[in-house]
Structure 1
């Protein structure tokens, strides 16, 4: 059983009615234990076991946007932006993987993809973070060699996600893995689990796993490099295909 964890989201809030509206929508989700909102800071904090993607969807259902600002404790969260390396694809970003370690040797994985052909996709962690040649340069599945010797599944095999007719797929998994073990590696999402990948296949995605902010580690309201607010950055990300 997954222990509860905390996530915080930046949400545009104008009054107490906004908080009531959002809270009502969130408490309809299974796995929500507590919702706290800070009108002044424009932040909503949620405690429970619900997937961050489900939380964002519930907030957006009220007509407001939401940006994930942090998940879990310091050094316990990671993120992977999944992109297509196909030359003919205009919007390269087609997926996002959020990961948070909620206990010793237990990490939850929240994977969302969109804009892909319907079917079953395999998500695997690869040995390296080299995506210079798309999925082909990422190396073998993480710890596949050791797993073969032991006769057990490789830890890098996350599982499958089903993409429907609308081109969208989501999956929420828990794995006996620690966050620090995955930082700097990569994730491949493709129709096939392993073998020779085709980087020009628009339905094959790849991204590098990077450390993400803990629940109180990211207080950014303006990007230090561009001077843009998080909402301006959010619009650009959505335009690029970010979930």
Structure 2
């Protein structure tokens, strides 16, 4: 039976956030609360989606921490930055507050007010240092989808070694009925792309076998994630809030494409990327620094993933 929440119940909900990233990467999030401000002439409310993200960053001195902090504060939406030289970690706390109309915040999608995790990574990298999201938060409340091209796929063969990675979607559930979605894409043609969660998780024929947009039990198109604008450099990003829970979308496919949604299945082309939505670890779920399978360190694994096209 689908979960139904009234605005009053939703605003009173307090949860621990979890985060998504690559298999070895996670987010760290603090408690999230929904608060209402005193009534105004516009009947607005203040939504608090503040969260904390933990990154592994190479740090050698206090000057490194200052350089990273200065770069992050320029983003906006950042409340606090703390560095730990001993553990080579940087924690970032977002402001997470925005004034919205209750009808918009509860029943439709709102722009997330804090800096997106992908933007935080880019700001750290702008200082000449790499960053890996390590984080914390509640288990089973985060997901990730690695988006790849399936142009000219071989029937029945999904995991081809030559598959090109073009994007990443990170999802974090911030309340019992809402999830933040951080989408990044690169290496595709400029233009507007539709992002969607599909009805199926079947990638044997790429986007073609993923079915229609996911509608959920209420038959609404709940899988429509909106548009992502890709610039002339082939890069695009979106960080928004959607009305679904993580457990509802695990195992489904995610697709970004310039194709119009029609009755026939999507086609696989160079500007259509697709991936499976999978759970990602929460706080303490994965604190390894050396892979037990390969013997490689966290940073050695990071280099391997970047070569494959990971963001």
1:21 equivalent in structure 2: 67
1:150 equivalent in structure 2: none
Check whether the contact 1:3–1:103 (CA below 8 A) recurs between aligned residues: no
Cα distance change, pair 2–117 in 1 and its aligned pair in 2 (3 A): farther
2:142 equivalent in structure 1: 77
More strand by share: 1
1:5 equivalent in structure 2: 51
Q: Are residues 1:181 and 2:248 paired?
A: yes
Write the deviation string for residues 61-89 of structure 1: whole angstroms up to 9, x where unpaired: 11100011236432211110000012499
Gaps of 5+ in 1: 148-152
Structure 1 residue 129, shift from structure 2 partner? 1.4
Write the deviation string for residues 106-156 of structure 1: whole angstroms up to 9, x where unpaired: 111110000001111001001221111101111221117843xxxxx5110
Question: What pairs up with 1:98-113 in 2 under 5 angstroms?
Answer: 98-113=170-185
Count of residues in Structure 1 that have an aligned counterpart in Structure 2: 237
Check whether the contact 2:57–2:129 (CA below 8 A) recurs between aligned residues: yes
User: Which of 79, 82, 106 is equivalent to 1:36?
Assistant: 82
User: Which of 187, 191, 194 is equivalent to 2:261?
Assistant: 194
SS in 2 for 1:26: helix
CA distance in 2, matches of 1:206, 1:90: 15
Superposed CA RMSD in Å reads: 1.9
Write the deviation string for residues 79-106 of structure 1: whole angstroms up to 9, x where unpaired: 1000001249956100000111122211
Structure 1 residue 210, shift from structure 2 partner? 0.8
Structure 1 residue 225, shift from structure 2 partner? 1.6
Structure with higher Rg: it is 2
Structure 1 residue 216, shift from structure 2 partner? 3.9
Q: Are residues 1:127 and 2:199 paired?
A: yes
CA distance in 1, matches of 2:118, 2:48: 17
Moved over 4 A (4+): 87-91
Check whether the contact 1:32–1:47 (CA below 8 A) recurs between aligned residues: yes
Q: Are residues 1:237 and 2:305 paired?
A: yes
